[in-house]
């Protein structure tokens, strides 16, 4: 489900919608306010750290969900 | 001939441990929920927060973000190079956080109770009599004589059968299905994340005058 998350735009406080998976792969996301030309991305200095944590978090989530399913 | 007494339907069901049949899976689901919440919390504390300070407080791990703003010239044309600023954001705010929890537990219990009793009694008797004897006698009175002969045959046969039939079957099928899914975050957690996000303060690292 893309663009399910949001952070406030640091410039106009409108919403910047983003997809975490794309965000941690370096993609830039634009402010939803058409008059605000702001976009945001994770700095290359933090990209690896963010990507690692995101991937660990997602894989742990899947493991928990699979374990708890029973029939 | 009296047959075995049949159990009433109510009696058949009253022996079922309904409390454990239903309560067991629900208790297991509650325990699974607690475990999932604990595992998630541990993970977030360990990966998104600094190790606890002496007073036990933890600060969030921050990541660097780059904000770009296109600059529009007075004549309406965009500048080639956008203004770039930097800000810090808690790592926690970019994770797709969801509460993992058991969202569905279904207990299917199917029981078939079948009892039947039948008593067939069949009596048949047949009697066949055929006695066979031969006799003869003669008597004479004067010049006359009489001769009598005859035969008697007798057979006897008796058959009797008694059948009784009793059938009882209990079959039970018990299915427990537990499904865990992703639920929206509790209000308290979203409030904390909102507070982090609202505190975003960009720091300008490079800008071009418009
Ligand atoms: Zn904006």
| Residue-wise pLDDT tens digits, B13-54 | 677 777 787 788 888 888 888 888 888 888 888 889 999 999
Tell me whether residue B143 is exposed, middle or buried, using C-beta atoms within 10 angstroms of its C-beta: 0 to 12, 13 to 18, 19 or more. exposed
Q: What residue spans define the domains of chain A? A: 5-70
**Each residue's pLDDT tens digit, B87-117:** 888 898 888 887 778 888 887 877 776 666 6
The distance from CA B57 to its chain's CA centroid, rounded to whole angstroms, is 44
CA distances from A10 to A16, A42, B25, B209 (A): 9, 14, 48, 19
Compare all CA atoms of chain B with the CA of A2 and give the residue at the minimum distance.
Answer: B96
Compare all CA atoms of chain A with the CA of B35 and give the residue at the minimum distance.
Answer: A64
What is the A57 CA–ligand 1 centroid distance (Å)?
A: 29
Please give the pLDDT value at position B210: 45
Q: Beta strand A29-30 with B203-206: parallel, antiparallel or unpaired? A: unpaired
From chain B, the residues in CB contact with A43 under 8 A are 63-66, 86
Taking a C-beta distance cutoff of 8 angstroms, is the pair A9, A36 a contact? Answer: yes
pLDDT at B60 over 80: yes
Do A41 and B65 lie within an 8 Å CB cutoff? yes
pLDDT at A31 over 90: yes
Beta bridge partners of residue B78, listed in sequence order: B72
Do A61 and B179 lie within an 8 Å CB cutoff? no
From chain A, the residues in CB contact with B48 under 8 A are 53
Phi then psi for B84, rounded to 5 degrees?
A: -120, 130
Neighbouring C-alpha atoms within 13 Å toward the C-beta of B147: 3
Angle at B178 between CA B175 and CA B183, to 5 degrees: 160
Please give the pLDDT value at position B205: 60
| A41 and B CB contact within 8 Å | yes
**Each residue's pLDDT tens digit, B115-173:** 666 665 555 555 554 445 454 455 444 444 444 445 455 555 555 566 666 666 777 77
Taking a C-beta distance cutoff of 8 angstroms, is the pair B184, B65 a contact? Answer: no
Any residues with CB less than 8 A from the CB of A31 and at least 6 apart, and which? A9, A11, A12, A14, A15, A16, A37, A38, A39, A40
Q: Which run of H or of E encompasses B39?
A: helix B18-48
Residue B196 token pair: 């982090």
Give the mutation candidate from B66, B98, B181, B199 for the A interface (greatest A CB count, under 10 A).
B66
| CA-closest candidate to residue B207, choices B86, B85, B87, B83 | B83
Do A5 and B100 lie within an 8 Å CB cutoff? no
Taking a C-beta distance cutoff of 8 angstroms, is the pair A37, A21 a contact? Answer: no
């Amino acid at each position: 489900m893309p663009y399910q998350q949001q952070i406030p735009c640091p410039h106009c406080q409108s919403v910047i919608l983003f997809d975490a998976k794309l965000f941690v792969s370096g993609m830039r996301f634009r402010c939803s306010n058409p008059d605000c030309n702001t976009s945001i991305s994770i700095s290359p200095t933090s990209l690896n750290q963010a990507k690692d944590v995101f991937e660990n978090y997602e894989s742990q989530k899947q493991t928990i969900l699979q374990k708890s399913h029973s029939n | 001939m009296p047959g075995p007494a049949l159990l009433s339907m109510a009696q058949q069901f009253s022996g079922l441990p309904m409390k454990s049949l239903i309560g067991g899976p629900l208790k297991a689901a509650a325990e699974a929920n607690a475990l999932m919440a604990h595992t998630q919390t541990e993970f977030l504390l360990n990966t998104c927060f600094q190790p606890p300070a002496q007073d036990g407080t933890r600060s969030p791990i921050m990541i660097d973000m780059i904000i770009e703003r296109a600059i529009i010239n007075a004549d309406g044309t965009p500048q080639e190079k956008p203004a770039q600023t930097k800000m810090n954001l808690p790592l926690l705010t970019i994770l797709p956080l969801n509460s993992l929890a058991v969202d569905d537990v279904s207990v299917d219990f199917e029981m078939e109770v079948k009892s039947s009793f039948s008593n067939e009694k069949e009596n048949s008797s047949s009697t066949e009599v055929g006695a066979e004897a031969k006799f003869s006698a003669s008597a004479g009175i004067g010049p006359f004589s009489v001769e009598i002969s005859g035969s008697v045959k007798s057979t006897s046969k008796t058959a009797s059968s008694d059948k009784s039939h009793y059938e009882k079957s209990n079959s039970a099928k018990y299915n427990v299905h537990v499904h865990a899914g992703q639920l929206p975050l509790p209000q308290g957690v979203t409030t904390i994340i909102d507070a982090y996000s609202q505190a975003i303060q960009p720091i300008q690292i490079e800008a071009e005058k418009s």
